[in-house]
Chain A
Amino acid sequence: MYVAVKGGERAIENAHAWLAEERRGDTSVAELAVAQIREQLSLAVNRVMAEGSLYDPDLAALAIKQARGDLIEAIFLIRAYRTTLPRFGATNPVETGKMACDRRISATFKDAPGGQVLGPTFDYTHRLLDFKLTAEGEVPEAPTAEPRHEPTPHITEFLQGEDIIQREPESEATPGDLTRQPMSYPSGRDIRLQSLTRGDEGFVLGLAYSTQRGYARNHAFVGELRIGTVAVEMEIPELGFAIEIGEVELTECETVNQFAGSKTEPPQFTRGYGLVFGQTERKAISMALVDRALRWRELGEDDLGAAAQDEEFVLSHSDNIQATGFLEHIKLPHYVDFQSELELVRKLRREAGVEEVREAAE
């Protein structure tokens, strides 16, 4: 526990004033505009929206500026802001099959209808620093080609034709919401997916990596990875019909995993699913791998004792705001706690005869 301590107001005020000055940095360098962050650091903006669990690029950019680029601090700001908003309702589930894809690749089917569309990717770059970017300059216009208008079908649809991959059970059940109800275990896949999509990218990545290295055996293929925009549709009660209230950029990853079959299921491929706000490819793939690992129980697989299979472990540690809150609170004054520990250790030492030993030595 920690006890409230009075005092330090002036020190705190001055610290915050200095923080503001440090945030601004060298005033001979032009100040960053929020729009510049939104447009030019868009992947940071996307991460803040995904883990802040609020889609609003301008707010996320503002949070990044205010947090001096500390993304977890920015996510914290977004989460705090989010709690001030009234909730108008929930949308109809987005239809990712109708996504206007900027990128769409499959590691399993070379000739997938719709093709392998690379989009604005870092893949195949040489990861060499580009010193041209230190100078301002015009960017040459990207080449264009005849655009595709028809929707790009999901890859899993083709496997489903043969029934060689597990079907997703159809349902219109109202999903649980971890922002409204306390967590309880075991939880449903709805809660797990909500938790993973807003979970810390580094944590989810680490867990996903552990499954690849053998801690929960499931070898995943990226059946499909797509990035693009989808319309968000919601029923408007006062109108009595649904309208599109906006559009969001999403990254969706479907993995295809081997499955030997069980007593009730024939051998077939199983699936892991990742869906994340923004262009957030690493996170979406990680989410799909961890989702698949957490499904061991419903698929009748063995519990191998791997971290990525332990739902309670994964879900209670994936939220970086909870984690940082608890972690960082230990730097706040614990004077009284520590005082009592100090007394205790001194007493124990006296009882152990430490004082006498020292005196004898002198």
Chain B
Amino acid sequence: MAIQKKNGTEAEIETETGAETGAGQQARRGWMSLLARAPETLLLALWSGYGASPSFDWLRRPETGAVMVRGRMGGTGAPFNLGEMTVTRCALTLQDGTVGHGYVQGRSKARAEAAALIDALMQTGAASAVRRAILDPLAEAMATTREDRAARAAATKVDFFTLVRGEDG
């Protein structure tokens, strides 16, 4: 894992080769994906509720940009460019050298910063506390929202029935 000096530039943010493999990587992928999609008010409320404010140095200050979203022809064929979406990213390092990355949908720098700090803390001894205080409630709330929509959709599913025609048939 690359450790950078304060306010490092983008060129200094190297690929964390070999930092994680297998299960570790899968777990990190899971929480980063959760943080990227988290609703802002909920994430910031949970983060401030957690109460930690670890000191850190920026490797990359929060910046907003776009990513080109791709689709596939016919849903399964060759890729094509669908359009862009906004993303905000940042990278930071805790005092012990742990690097946290924040990649979140939208333009909120506060969300990206919270995501990067949570990502960093999840790689430290604080992981299980952070998971309990932030990630679990976040995942639960997001699953509930999803379930609510799916339940509404399910109620609009058509039940076909065949009409019996004629009185004496």
Using a CB–CB cutoff of 8 Å, the interface residues on chain A facing chain B are: 49-50, 53-56, 58-59, 82, 85-94, 96-97, 100-103, 110-111, 115-121, 142-149, 154, 156, 168-179, 189-191, 193-194, 197-198, 231-232, 234, 236-248, 250, 252, 254, 271, 273, 275, 277
Contacts and interface: CB of A to CB of B under 8 A. Distances in A.
Interface stretch (B30-38, B46-54, B122-130): B30-38
A115 to B, nearest CB: 5
Contact of B29 (A154, A198, A241): A241
Contact of A171 (B79, B105, B107): B79
- Which residue of A145, A170, A189 has the most chain B CB atoms within 10 A of its CB atom? A145
A244 to B, nearest CB: 4
B73 A193 contact: yes
Contacts of B163: none
B136 to A, nearest CB: 18
B44 to A, nearest CB: 16
Name the residue in A93, A102, A191 with the highest tally of chain B Cβ atoms < 10 Å from its Cβ: A93
Interface of B: 13-17, 25, 28-29, 32-33, 36-37, 63-87, 89, 91, 101, 103-107, 146-158, 160
A97 B81 contact: no
A175 B79 contact: yes
Contact of B82 (A58, A120, A143, A194): A194
A241 B16 CA distance: 10
Contact of A55 (B13, B64, B77, B86): B86
B23 to A, nearest CB: 13
14 contacts: A89-B68, A101-B153, A142-B152, A147-B147, A168-B73, A168-B75, A175-B78, A189-B78, A234-B67, A238-B15, A243-B33, A243-B103, A247-B105, A252-B75
A194 B81 contact: yes
A239 B18 CA distance: 10
A150 to B, nearest CB: 11
Nearest to B91: A238
A176 to B, nearest CB: 8
A94 B151 contact: no
Contact of A54 (B17, B33, B66, B149): B66
B87 A88 contact: yes
B68 A247 contact: no
Nearest to A155: B75
Given A82-B66, A177-B81, A243 B29 contact: yes
B81 A238 contact: no
A156 B74 CA distance: 9
B158 A56 contact: no
Given A170-B77, A193-B80, A238-B15, A248 B155 contact: no
A102 B73 contact: no
Contacts of B81: 90, 175-179, 190, 194
Contacts of B17: 240
Contacts of A92: 70
A93 B157 contact: no
Given A116-B157, A168-B73, A277-B82, A237 B67 contact: no
Given A117-B156, A148-B153, 15 more contacts: A56-B86, A102-B152, A144-B154, A146-B154, A168-B75, A170-B78, A172-B78, A172-B79, A194-B80, A231-B33, A234-B67, A238-B16, A243-B103, A275-B71, A275-B82
A118 B104 CA distance: 32
B78 A190 contact: yes
Contacts of B37: 231, 244, 246-247
Contacts of B83: 49-50, 53-55, 197-198, 277
B66 A88 contact: yes
Contacts of B64: 85
B79 A53 contact: no
A238 B13 contact: yes
Nearest to A169: B77
Contact of A93 (B16, B28, B70, B103): B70
Nearest to B71: A275
Contacts of B80: 175, 189-191, 193-194
